[in-house]
Amino acid sequence: TFEPGTATAILGPNGAGKSTLLSILAGQLLPTEGSVTYSLADKTLPVSEIPRHLAYCAPYLELPEDFTLLELLAFHTKLKPLRPDVSPSDLVEIMYLQKARHQPVRTFSSGMKQRLKLGLALYAAAPLLLLDEPTTNLDAQGAAWYLEHVARVRDGRLVIISSNVPAEYAFCEAQVLITDFQQ
């Protein structure tokens, strides 16, 4: 059971199923065994409603690369609103992408794209935050940015991180070793 207001790290070797578990929790895949039950404010939610309540960041998720940054933010925030205290222009500054605001996303470096994915997830108005290997493609400055911002936005949210990098999940109160649940 994962509880709101907590942060849990899902750990295990490459290929053990960490990313698959996050995809199941995100409602993108169905479990081959067992079941997942979602609840919000003591009300059970159907899987079809889960995307409205979660923000998901993974290095393998694609961005619409023909959009400029501002176009992408306008499009994305219609589907997944930002936290009420953050505007799209605030988010551009938070992500240190002011100089790239009019550039197509395809021109971004891999680190800029990862910071963009993280910014969209971290600052989404969603109580469930799923992060798969969040500092992939980030340099030391980008990794520090991630830690600063996940600390800013995690209060009251359920945060689940899949990682093999201790610095990415050092703040988590709980750790789950996925291999402990495999037969």
Beta bridge partners of 170: none
Contact 117, 73 (CB under 8 A): no
What's the rounded Cα separation, in Å, for the pair 127 and 140? 28
Report residue 181's pLDDT band, with 50, 70 and 90 as the boundaries. Answer: confident
How far CA 150 is from CA of 76, 120, 135, in Å, comes to 20, 12, 12
Residue 46 located in a structural domain: yes
Residue 56 located in a structural domain: yes
Report residue 183's pLDDT band, with 50, 70 and 90 as the boundaries. Answer: low
Residue 34 located in a structural domain: yes
Based on its alpha-carbon atoms, the radius of gyration of the chain, rounded to whole angstroms, reads: 16
Give the domain CATH number at 41.
Answer: 3.40.50.300
Domain coverage including residue 31: 7-181
Q: In what order do the strands lie in the sheet with 128-132?
A: 54-57, 128-132, 158-162, 7-11, 174-177
Q: What's the domain count of the chain?
A: 1
Residue 70 located in a structural domain: yes
Residue 122 located in a structural domain: yes
Residue 120 located in a structural domain: yes
- What is the pTM for the complete model shown? 0.94
Over residues 34-54, mean pLDDT: 88
